[in-house]
Every structure is written in structure tokens, then in C-alpha cells.
Structure 1
Amino acid sequence: MRTLLAFLVGTSLLTAPAMAQSAWTGGDDQPANPLACDASVTAVPPGDYNGGEPTGAPDRKGKPLKVVDIPKLVGVGYFNSTAAGIQEAAKELGSMTVTTDGPTKANIDEQITFIDNYITSGVDGILFAANDPVAIAPVLKRALEAGINVVGYDADAEADARQWFVNQAEPNGVAKSMIDQLASEIGEEGSFAIVTSTFTTPNQARWITEMAAYAEKCHPKIKFLETVEAQEDNILSFNQAQTLINKYGDELKGILGMTSVATPAASEAVQQQNLCGKVSVVGLALPNAMKPYINNDCIKSTILWSTVDLGYAAGMAMRAVADGTLKPGDTTFKAGRLGDLQVVNQSQILLGAPKVFTKADINNFDF
């Protein structure tokens, strides 16, 4: 199937604007909802709750909670910072202990094994960021069937496999920010490639689909070259970026980094190839990881949300779900120091719009 998609993308480049093709390697097969070209990011009304419910859960209101946090992988800056936010929430609440554990690579089979083991050992709640929305669903449903509260963040599962999902940004909002920033740096007819984690990583696949639709609508002459997988691995991300640079030469004007690992790795590749100012890197990354490249004027920007706030909101949501104060039908959620967050897409809590960090303000942030 991937081979067919790649063929369709490649052949369409010969006959039409590259972003206009229906086949989009690295995206999902769900419909897109691109924002208006001049519109600010807006949220979708919540609609009817479509999340799952734990079976026979004990009364946990106000009682101590034992929670495990299982992100896509451990040991990288992005999930270190979400874990820090979760611990901040736990400390503030004073009634929840959280252990962060998981695979050292973004491997769905290993992630499933970790979740299964914690179901067996016994916890009150599971926080997760999925490596694959479909593959992770059965084990999360087993957790719900065991009476465990389940809340996702960063990358969702199938809705009925968890209760709530803390969404860092609406996919069409991420798409608009990424493509608008890319176009501002490489021009309306520039060519670019994408470095993603895997073609099955749910949040990145959704963002890529929305980017294709938004670019077709608002930047129709911008040219897509290729999407490559890098597994959220620093060395592989660097090597993939170098391969793209060598493969496309002067045609390559920009690289979109879809992960907090790929974006600084691609920036390092651009810097080592002495292509600062010639190849732009626009992507999602922690400000601290991008400061060296932005402060030395090699890279102009990076895009993200507060990953600490994302983890904090997820921790707060877990406590509220266990207490019964976050329930189906709610349209807002009181998330501690973050105030009221909007409920969207039936069972998601929206953190907010993504932010573009530049040399003008990136040093004001420390995460």
C-alpha cells in the first residue's frame, strides 16, 4: 500500500501542484477540515461523548490514586517534559502518585506490553500517548474492563478505548501554523520534504493529512517531495535529513519536522551541510532543543505548545475523571492553573493553539 501511495504521489508531481494530490504518504485516510486561509485557529464544538467507561470501577473520589504514565517512549526531551507536568499536577493535588515508564523506542508492541503488565500488577489509572491508535486500543479496553481510569494525551487511541484525551492542539490548527510558517520561509513555490516518526503514528498522520488539505487550499503552488520515517530516533532523523539534502540538492528548500526529535536533528544536518539560510527547517520541537540553531540564525522558528502544560492537564484530567468531576456532557474542564479548557470532538480536552517561537522570544521559555 505504501508503495502504491508513493507511486501515486510521484506521478502526480509531474502533472499537478504537488500538494493537490489525494494520496499523501504519511497521512491517514480520514477526511480533512482545513481552516480558512486568513482565519485564526478555532475549536470544534464537542458533540456527544464517545469515550469509553471503566467497568465496575471502585469509588475513587478524593482517595489516593496510583497512576502509571506510559508515553510513546521514555528518555527524550518531549516526554521528559510532559512527565514533569504530570508530576507537577500530582504534587499540587497531593493525592496522586504517578510513575512514568515505557519503551525506549517508539515501538507499539513494547508499549502494549508495558500497559498489559501494569493492568496485571494493578493501578488506579493509566495515562498514555499512543504509538498506534488501533493497535493500542485492545489493551486499553482491557484496562477499562478491569475498572482502571484511562486518559490519553499527545497521541490518541480509538475513542472508546479511553475516557478522555488531552489534545495539545487541533490537527487543522497545527497544519495551518506549520504550512503558513513554511510558506513564509521558503516561498509560495518552494519544495519541501517531511521527516515523521512512523506512518502509523496517529497525531502526526492526522497533522500531515490536514497539512495537505490546507496547503492545497491556501498555498496551492508549494511543492511536496517526500515523507520519510525516522522512528523518533535522533541518529536516524539526522541521517534521513541528510539523505533528503543529498537526494534533492538545490530543489529542497525546506524540511518539516513532525517530531521533537526530527526537527533539531534536521536542523543539525542543515547546519553541518553549511545550508543555513538556504534550507529552512520548520517543525515541532522543544524550544530548548532549538535555541542553538535559532540563536545563531541558522533556523528561523520552531512550533510547539507547552509540553509541561500538556502533561499537567493530563494529570489534572486523571484526578477529575477518578473523582467524577469530569464527566460525559461537560463542555469545559477546570484544569488547575490553566483555568477552563474547552471540550472538543466529543471526548477531547483542548490545550490551545500552537505557538511559533522565534529568536525574538525563544529565550523567554525554558522547556
Structure 2
Amino acid sequence: MSMKRGSVPLRWIAVPVVGLMLFAACGESGVGQAPESAQGGGGESRICMMPKLVGIPYFNASQKGAEEAAEELGVDLTYDGPTEAKAALQVQMIEQFIQQGCQAITVAANDPNALAPAMKKAMDADIRTGAWDADVAPDAREVFVNQATFQAIGYALVDIMAEQTGGKGEFLVVTGSLTAPNQNAWLKEMKERMADKYPDMHVASLEPGEEDLQLGIDVTTDYLRANPDTAGVFGITSVALPGAAEAVEQLGLDGKVAVTGLSTPNDNKQYIDAGVIEKFVLWNPIDLGYLAVHVANAQIEGKMPESGTFEAGRLGKVKMLAPDEVLLGPPVIFTEQNINDYNF
């Protein structure tokens, strides 16, 4: 089995999971440069897997799980993505994957519709297609690996915030890009939860952080200075949450402005310890990457079920939510009591 990212075999790439990283450079255009010979050897199945971007702890953790599954299954894996969360760069890389002879392409989309034509081109080339973490347009892929239901995530975020704010107030949401399908789906469920259960809670503003830590800090800081009565901030990406927490801490608003969202434990432990964040939500991105490779391999082998459960290695049986959707499981709520039990 061989695994590649760019021109370096993945099995030799260290996967950092502590602290936010600068984006890794993968070519002048921001697109990871593919190896000249991208075919797996020995008749192995060839899976090409793309995150929204490379170089942040969340997708490094997913890479770790993907590598584990590829090793277990004996498949050839290329895990690569752009250095910025830009759909146009992903489109370029999908075109590269098609030319490289991938048997399955699975992507975490920055824009579901922008990626659709390239994914349909892959389908026309008889390549198995899928999405994970963030879906593409349903008619442009065969299966979506969902980390948790949109409702479960959206409801959990709002319930946590309501506990800290008495179920009322105006709130800032810092997202990734305004076109990110998973974040938009979570936001929809958040607003529905507020309307149904907490009518005095309102999303006052949605600001894009573009998966950039400093931008997340800046937009949160600027907004809170302009809107001092804000009750809380939701950071709904792995980079947006620590950015929002850092802004609140720098402004001396910890204990006054509540902060929650979605991110990795290692990037937020310091804010839990400092009392800036009480609780936040995620799933295990290592397991998500692991599951996505198992699903892609089953697609290649023609063994994907359309209902019931799907057998996924060490994860055991996972649920088929629909003929074209696999569910990793319920979200995890991280607190001071359990955050040290996780390392990603």
C-alpha cells in the first residue's frame, strides 16, 4: 500500500494535532501539486480524498484516520487539498484526480454547487464519487459520509448557549465561508431551535472567518466592540471557535460574553481551562476520515448497502440514514471534565 500527498508519501508525513498551524504551501497556485506517477501499485484500489483545505488540525486528524483505514484495507490513498478554503482550487484538484486514475474521489466541499460539474465529470469517467464532512450537490456524488446529523449539531450548540445566557440575547455566528454547506445546514437548525424553544434568542449577525485564525479573531473583536450588548458568540468551524474565544479573552469579556461552537479539543483546551469556553461540540475527525475511506473502498468493490447498517472496521456497524448517506454517529460535547480524554 502507498499513500501520497503531493509528491511525498503520506506515511512519512507527521500529523500535528496540537495548536493551529500555518497553511502548508503546496504550489504557487494554492493547489497541492500531484505526483507525476499517481497510480497505485500492485493492483490496489486507488482512493483520492480531499479536505476543504490542508494544514489545520481538524483535517490533519481526518488524514490520520484515513491513513489508518487505508493501511487496514490495503488500498492506495492520496489525501490532498488546497491551502486555502476556496472552491475554485478544489475544482482544479478534482480535475487532477480524474487525470491521475483515481477509482474513487471523495471530497469535503467548500461550495456544493461549484464542485458539482467537476464531480459529475468524474462520474462520467466511471469513478466512484462521494463527499464527507461537507456535502456536494446530491446529484454530483453517490454517497455522503455525514459526521452527525445537522439537527443534532445545531440543537446541541443552541442548548449549550442557552444554558449560559438564560435562553435570551443577540448572538454573533462566525462561520467559515458563506457557501459552506455543512455550516449553513447547522445554522438553519440553530435558528429553528431558537425559534421553537428559545424565542428570545436571535442570530444578529453571520460573519465569515474563511478558516483563518487571525480573521476569526478580528471579525469577532470588531463585532463585539461595535455591539457591546452581544450575549454570546458561536464559532462553527474548527478555526472560528478558538478565534472567537481568543477575541473574547483579549477583550476581557470572559464570563460576560458566552462562547461555544465546533472545534478540536487540543485547540480549545486553554480556553476551557481559562473559563472562556464552558462547553463545545464536535465529533471525532479521526473516525470521520477512517469511515470515509471505508465507504470509498466499499463503493469501488460494489459493496455499499442502501439501508440498514454498514460495517466499517473498528467502528463496527454504522447507520445508513438514506441509500446515499452514512452516519458516523452523535456529536460529542467537550467540557472541563472530559477534554483531557481526547488528543486531536
2:257 to 279, 282, 291: 279
CA distance in 2, matches of 1:341, 1:123: 25
Query: Which is worse superposed, 287-296 or 342-351?
Result: 342-351
User: Share of identical aligned residues, percent?
Assistant: 39
Counterpart of 1:364, as a letter, is D
| Alignment match of 1:264 (pick from 219, 230, 242) | 242
Question: Which sections of structure 2, spanning at least 5 residues, go unmatched?
Answer: 1-41
2:320 to 336, 343, 359: 343
Q: Does the Cα contact within 8 Å between 2:307 and 2:322 map onto a contact in 1?
A: no
1:67 deviates by 1.8
Where 2:111 maps in the other structure, the secondary structure is coil
| Offset of residue 235 of structure 1 | 1.1
**Displacement after TM superposition at 1:63 (Å):** 5.2
Residue 304 to residue 269, structure 1, CA distance change in 2 (3 Å): same
Deviation at 1:298, TM superposition (A): 2.1
| Structure 2 Cα separation of the partners of residues 306 and 273 of structure 1 | 31
Give the secondary-structure state (helix, strand or coil) at the position aligned to 1:222: strand
Match of 1:42 in 2: none
Equivalences for residues 235-314 of structure 1 within 5 A: 235-249=214-228, 251-314=229-292
User: The residue matched to 1:195 in structure 2 has which SS?
Assistant: strand
Q: Distance in 2 between matches of 1:267 and 1:244?
A: 13
Cα drift, residue 331 of structure 1: 2.2
SS at match of 1:192: strand
User: Are residues 1:80 and 2:57 paired?
Assistant: no
Q: Which has the higher contact order (CA 8 A, sep 6+)?
A: 1
| 2:190 paired with 1:211 | yes
- CA shift at 1:325, angstroms? 1.4
Letter matched to residue 257 of structure 2: V
Q: What SS is found at the alignment partner of 1:285?
A: coil
Deviation (angstroms), 1:79:
0.8
Match of 2:333 among 356, 359, 363: 356
TM normalised by structure 2 equals 0.86
**Whole-Å separation in 1 of the counterparts to 2:286 and 2:269:** 18
Q: Is residue 183–residue 190 contact of structure 1 (8 Å, CA) maintained in 2?
A: no
Unaligned runs of 5+ in 1: 1-61
Pick the aligned partner of 2:293 from 305, 315, 326: 315
1:160 maps to 2:139: yes
Report the CA distance between 1:191 and its aligned residue.
2.1
Once residues 219 and 90 of structure 1 are traced to their aligned partners in structure 2, the CA distance between those partners, rounded to angstroms, is 44
Deviation at 1:330, TM superposition (A): 2.9
Corresponding residue for residue 366 of structure 1: 343
Q: Which whole-Å CA distance do the structure 2 matches of 1:208 and 1:189 have between them?
A: 17
Amino acid across the alignment from 2:236? M
Structure 1 segment 112-151 matched on structure 2, within 5 A: 112-151=91-130
Instruction: Tell me the alpha carbon deviations over residues 86-128 of structure 1, each in whole angstroms, 9 at most, x when there is no partner.
Output: 00101111x2121221111110001100110111222122121
CA contact (8 A) 2:307 2:321 kept: no
Q: Cα deviation per residue 1:239-288 (whole Å; 9 max; x = unaligned)? A: 11111111111x11210011000000111111111111111111000011
CA distance in structure 2 between the aligned counterparts of 1:154 and 1:85, rounded to whole angstroms: 13
Secondary structure at the residue paired with 1:204? helix
Q: Which amino acid aligns with 1:66?
A: R
**In the alignment, is the contact (CA less than 8 A) between 2:216 and 2:244 conserved in 1?**
yes
* Alpha-carbon contact 1:230-1:236 (below 8 Å) kept: yes
| In structure 2, C-alpha distance between the alignment counterparts of 1:105 and 1:69, rounded to whole Å | 16
SS in 1 for 2:172: strand
Cα distance between partner residues in 2 of 1:175 and 1:148 = 33
TM-score by length of 1: 0.80
**Is the aligned partner of 1:233 residue 2:217?**
no
Counterpart for residue 188 of structure 1: 167
Separation (CA, whole Å) in 2 of partners of 1:323 and 1:65: 9
One-letter identity of the residue aligned with 1:291: K
Q: Output aligned runs, 1:21-36, within 5 Å.
A: none
Q: Residue by residue, what CA displacement relative to the aligned partner does 1:151-193 show, whole Å, maximum 9, x if unpaired?
A: 2100001112111111011111111101000101122112211
SS of the residue aligned with 1:190? strand
Output the CA distance in 1 between the equivalents of 2:86 and 2:240.
17
2:33 counterpart residue number? none
Runs ≥4 residues deviating over 3 A: none
RMSD (Å) for aligned C-alpha atoms: 1.5
Please tell me whether residue 331 in structure 1 is matched to residue 331 in structure 2.
Answer: no
